[in-house]
Structure formats: C-alpha cells, structure tokens
Structure 1
Amino acid sequence: MGNKQFTPDLVALRAAAGRLPVDDVIRLFGNYHARNAVIYLHDHPTATLDELADALAAAAASTDETIATPSDRERIRIRLYHVILPQLEELGIVSFDSEANAVTETTIPAAIREYLRIDDCSA
C-alpha cells in the first residue's frame, strides 16, 4: 500500500478533487490510513470494517517493520468507523453501512485513482 512519507502534490490533488470540496479531499488524503483504505477498497469494494482494519494495520506494520498488535488494529478500526469511512461516504467515494460494519459500494473517481496511482499498483 502507500508510503507513510507520502508528500502530496497539492496541484495534482486539487485537480483530483474535481467536483469534491478541495479542502476536504486534501485533509482526508493527507492521512496515511485514509489513502491506504481507498487503495484497498479499489481491489475489495465491499470490504467489512474488520477486514479493512486488518489490512491497514498490516500495511502500517510492514512500513514500520514491526508487528501489528491488537491495540493497533483496534485504534485503526475506531478511526475508520468514526472518521475515515464517514468522510469517504460524504465525498461519495464509498457507501458505508454502520450497522453491518461494511463498505457496501466503492466508486473511486478516476482523478483520485490517478492521484493515488492506484491503477499503476493494480497491474
């Protein structure tokens, strides 16, 4: 997944925002876990909250060359549930069912995929 030392190209991000509020997109994609969530959801568009938390905890541990702990996973899960997934839903990127704890649909705009270089990673 993404690199923690990600330096956003604000001009590219502004273009990627398209019809979305630029400040919201910049704030959201400035977050390592949010970027990795979108990258993961590109390949798994109907992931459960637990599945997504596991993937993000593993990605963070891999980047840090550590082992993910249950508390790391739970911290990420809480952030996904209360912050990241609601923001992605507000931007129209995902549909999140908070009762089922699952993303039920993912629609990543082409400009966001290009900005995050998702299509380059998927090949």
Structure 2
Amino acid sequence: MLNFEYEGFADVAAAELQATRARSLADDLDRLLSGKQPFAEQLAKAPLLERWSVVAARVPVLQGIAIGHPSELGTFAPMSTAPLVIAAEDRRWIRCWDGFWRLGRIEDGQDSVWSDPSVTIREWR
C-alpha cells in the first residue's frame, strides 16, 4: 500500500514502481484482449512455480516453490506470488500484478479448486 500525504506520496520511488507495474499490466491486458499470447521472451524470463496451490486470501495468489525468481530468497524457495490477475486456462502461465509466472506441476489435491470457477470466485472475494 502506498501512503499519500497532503504533500504527495510518502515514498515517491515506490509510487513510481507501482505506476510502472500498472502500465506493464495494462499493456499485457491489451495484448491478450487482442487475441495474442504472451511474448515467448516474457515467458522464457518468467520464474517457474512448482508444486503450486491456490491460497485462500482476500485476493487470489498462488504459492509454491519458486525457480529462477530474482529475489534474495534464491532458487527453490517457497514463496507466494503477487495478486493474480490472469490465469491461462491450460495452466501453463499466470500474470500477476508484478509480472508473468510459468507454472509447473500443481500441488496434489488442487485440481478442483482451479477448475471450479464458483469455488475460486467465492474464495477470492
């Protein structure tokens, strides 16, 4: 969350980062709305999430084992994604607030949560 004070944002750099992420997300949404798939380069650079599962939260996120994520946590680190915005029906990729993820194997027992839209909508609202 960004703090906005009378004089402006408390952390201008953080606000600029969120604006950049929002523009990137809008560009990706426009591309997908036009019927195009994510760029191959985008998915090639995207981290891989293995043994992932849906997390019941106020917003939809996935958690799993991150491979190739550019964070200080390192490779094969358990982590949660940023809020989920788009999910490919074939489960090959997702677009979160901050970027694309490639999806590996789903965690055991999660198939019904992913495939039943009434469950995901109810859980994520």
The two structures have a TM-score, normalised by structure 1, of 0.26
- Greater C-alpha Rg: 2
Task: Work out which structure has the larger RCO, using CA pairs closer than 8 Å and 6 or more positions apart in sequence.
Answer: 1
The two structures have a TM-score, normalised by structure 2, of 0.26
Higher helix share: 1
